[in-house]
């Protein structure tokens, strides 16, 4: 990967922005205008996923792989989407905000793999595609569950609505991607 990774100050700013966006949205019903302290957050146009956890349990997670918006604005939009639009959960209530921890995954460009040996658990997230079926798991998921490469592939296929061993099918497209993953628990 050739792109320069985010530094600690940029990560802290994005986490604070995500928190303030969440709190402000529940007070005012809109995303507030923001000018980043770190100019790279304006210049970078990367995808991101914002994960919300309540007392360690997933409460919302949505994102994208690329964005025309500057990174800081994409973070703001995905923060609200994760809280309000994740179809797996009821929208987050204002009364829950103090129990919510935010984790951000800034996504770097996807790379189509030719051999599963290219996948490094802990570094890579996975995206599989087969016809209309698509599934993604972020890099931290395999580590959190202690999966090896094949388990990671199988669970990504399941997430796409495919059989667990579908990754062995030559028609399946498999992509890997790297991400900067950081959360409020790491930066308090």
The secondary structure of 19-54 as a DSSP string is HHHHHHHHHHSSPPP---SSTHHHH---EEEEEEEE
Tokens of 179: 């991400």
- At residue 172, the pLDDT reads 93
For the chain, domains (ranges, CATH) are: 8-107 (3.30.700.20), 111-178 (3.30.1490.150)
Q: What is the pLDDT of residues 118-151, one digit of tens each?
A: 999 999 999 999 999 999 999 999 999 999 999 9
Q: What is the pLDDT of residues 78-107, one digit of tens each?
A: 999 999 999 999 999 999 999 999 999 999
- pTM, entire model: 0.88
Asked whether the CA dihedral 95, 99, 102, 103 is positive or negative, the reply is negative
């Amino acid at each position: 990967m050739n792109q320069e990774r985010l530094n600690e100050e940029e990560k802290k700013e994005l986490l604070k922005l995500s928190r303030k966006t969440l709190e402000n949205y529940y007070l005012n019903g809109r995303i507030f205008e923001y000018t980043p302290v770190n100019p790279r957050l304006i210049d970078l146009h990367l995808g991101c996923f914002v994960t919300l956890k309540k007392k360690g349990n997933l409460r919302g997670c949505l994102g994208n792989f690329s964005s025309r918006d500057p990174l800081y604005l994409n973070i703001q939009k995905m923060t609200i989407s994760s809280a309000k639009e994740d179809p797996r959960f009821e929208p987050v209530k204002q009364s829950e905000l103090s129990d919510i921890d935010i984790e951000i995954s800034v996504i770097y460009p996807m790379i189509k793999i030719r051999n599963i040996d290219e996948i490094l658990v802990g570094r890579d997230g996975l995206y599989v595609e087969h016809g209309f079926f698509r599934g993604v798991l972020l890099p931290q998921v395999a580590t959190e569950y202690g999966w090896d490469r094949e388990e990671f592939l199988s669970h990504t296929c399941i997430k796409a609505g495919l059989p667990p061993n579908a990754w062995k099918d030559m028609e399946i497209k498999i992509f890997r991607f790297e991400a900067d993953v950081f959360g409020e628990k790491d930066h308090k």
